[in-house]
Amino acid sequence: MSITVKRISNKKDIKQFVKFPMDLYKNNPYFVPSIIKDEVDNFDPEKNQVFQNADCWMFLAFRESEIVGRIAAIINHLEVNDQGKPKMRFGWMDMVDDIEVTKALLAEVAKIGKENNLEYMEGPVGFTQMDKAGLLVEGFDEVATMITWYNHPYYKEHMEQLGFVKSAEWVEFKFIPPNPIPERFHKFADLIAKRYELTQLKFKNIKEVEPYVDDMFELLNQTYSKLVTYVPIQQYQIDLYREKYLPFINPDFLECVVDKDGKLVAFAITMPSFSEALQKANGKLFPLGFLHLLKAKKKNTRAAFYLIGIHPRLQGKGVTAMMFRNVTQNFMNYGIEVCETNPELEDNIAVQALWKDYDPTLHKRRRIYRKDL
């Protein structure tokens, strides 16, 4: 049976686009669904201001009347015009195990790229580096996190059969937090604090965090500027993430370090794992989804590092020891038994060295692919 690819734009079709992976991975114990409303809003130019600097084309693939795949084609104009990267992005790619479906979806992306005189296509990625990115190529029997995509092994096989090559790869680790905290952790953290005249902040509530949010994103821009998917974070994005994610943060899981002038120089955000809660919510906050999320925020045995930012002048100077000492203590206080890292570039040895004292296990790899147009 022939495959038809349809460009979509109305809200009904976009909702089908968002829900397709929930059908594809129904009853899969490792897939973690997104909140449907949040995903739909993500593609609404009136609600996601990234469209000030980006264009997006969304496609669904059909075999007769059955949806068998989806993909989003993206041009980030800041990346193309300001950074000089002639890149056609693609993301939100899911499909049944039929390479003809994958081929048809990617052909639509390539067509748009050529029409806009771009030189290559790369993905799966989102609008910016703050979105989900990377095709899972190892760790298919591990539960996804809130900020990563899950996919079957055949995705990788399809990409490589179609001539796509590896552009970048991320690794993810899990570890058991030490209990009790080794004395050397305390000594080294105290030494670094004294040497660089640094102080850690302690927050009682989220309201106390708000004045530091802009500075956190500025640190992210400085920390991750060398990433292949990097596009400078805009103020409207900061405002969106503040509204979207700040309520999920437990102040006890946020570590901030300031210098002698009170300027933020490092931070680490960890969160209790929301994976199981999102599985139970199955894409809906109501009537019970938000209760699962609240429960996961208060009581959990798993946690994840989501964001780490360090000023360039202090990178590699041991500042993370100060933050991780408190993070480890918080894990003990909250009964956290297992922690996962966020995706890190495989050649980012400096970041991976952060976990060496925790005896980490590399349990997932994800990759973005590239093909010349």
- Averaged over 94-117, what is the pLDDT? 98
Within this chain, do residues 111 and 63 fall inside the same structural domain, yes or no? yes
Alpha helices, DSSP H, located in 25-148: 36-42, 77, 99-115
Question: Alpha-carbon distance 98 to 172, whole Å?
Answer: 28
pLDDT on residue 193? 92
Band (pLDDT 50/70/90 cuts) for residue 55 is: very high
Distance CA 125, CA 132 (A): 6
Within 10 angstroms of residue 174's Cβ, the number of other Cβ atoms is 19
**Which residue has better confidence, 163 or 345?**
163
Q: Name the more confident of 284 and 345.
A: 284
- Each residue's pLDDT tens digit, 119-164: 999 999 999 888 899 999 999 999 999 889 999 999 999 999 999 9
Q: Is residue 294 domain-shared with residue 238, that is, in the same domain?
A: yes
Rounded CA separation 40/19 (Å): 10
**Same-domain pairing of 180 and 134:** no
Percent of the chain at pLDDT exceeding 70 = 98
Pairing assessment for the beta strands 120-123 and 361-372 based on DSSP bridges: antiparallel
On whether residue 291 sits in a domain, the answer given is yes
The two structure tokens encoding residue 357:
């004292």
- CATH number for position 155: 3.40.630.30
pTM: 0.90
- The Cα–Cα gap between 130 and 217 comes to 10
Q: Are 185 and 369 in contact (CB under 8 A)?
A: no
Question: How many other CB atoms are there within 10 angstroms of residue 239's CB atom?
Answer: 14
Which tokens belong to 96? 């049944």
pLDDT category, 194, cuts 50, 70, 90? Answer: very high
- Element housing 242 (H / E): helix 235-245
356, two tokens: 């060496």
pLDDT at 5 over 70: yes
Question: Which residues form the domain of 291?
Answer: 175-366
113 and 203 share one domain = no
φ, ψ (nearest 5 deg) of residue 260: -65, -20
More confident residue, 16 or 318: 16
Cite the beta strand spans of the chain per DSSP E.
3-8, 54-63, 66-76, 87-95, 120-123, 135-138, 165-175, 199-201, 254-258, 264-272, 302-310, 338-340, 344-345, 361-372
| DSSP3 helix / strand / coil % (the chain, rounded to 5) | 40, 25, 35
Looking at the fold, whether 258 and 346 belong to one and the same domain comes out as: yes
- Local confidence band at 226 (pLDDT 50, 70, 90 cut-offs): low
Query: How many C-alpha atoms does 121 have within 13 Å on its Cβ side?
Result: 24
Q: Is residue 76 part of a domain?
A: yes
The region of weakest confidence among 56-60, 179-183, 303-307 is: 179-183
371 falls within a domain? no
Stretch (H or E) spanning 223: helix 213-223
CA-based nearest residue to 85, from 221, 228, 220: 228
Same domain, residue pair 23 and 78: yes
